């Protein structure tokens, strides 16, 4: 079984004082297999564009997989 996590939204990042790179490294160090970021163009709250968020996660980690999650 492979386990991943969705990266935190901007409000969560601001509230908890973390950023996407730190969150991605934490997931990798915890042994998770992947991190995901939503691709919500019409989100009701401020959001980081998906490809930018995943690029940050990719540059901050070495082995973890990245992916885009979407809503239908």
pLDDT in tens, the chain (72 residues): 999 999 988 888 889 888 999 999 999 999 999 999 987 766 677 778 889 999 999 999 999 999 998 655
| Contact of 65 with 26, CB cutoff 8 Å | no
Phi-psi region of 55 (alpha: psi -120 to 50; beta: other; left: phi over 0): alpha
- The encoded tokens of residue 6 equal 């969705």
Q: How far is the first Cα of the chain from the last one, in angstroms, to the nearest whole number?
A: 25
| Contact of 43 with 71, CB cutoff 8 Å | no
DSSP character at residue 55: H
Domain residue ranges in the chain: 24-32+43-64
């Amino acid at each position: 079984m492979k386990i991943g996590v969705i990266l935190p939204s901007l409000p969560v990042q601001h509230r908890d004082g973390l950023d996407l790179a730190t969150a991605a490294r934490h997931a990798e160090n915890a042994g998770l297999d992947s991190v995901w970021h939503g691709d919500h163009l019409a989100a009701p709250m401020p959001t980081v564009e998906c490809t930018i968020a995943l690029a940050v996660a990719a540059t901050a980690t070495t082995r973890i997989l990245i992916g885009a999650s979407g809503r239908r």
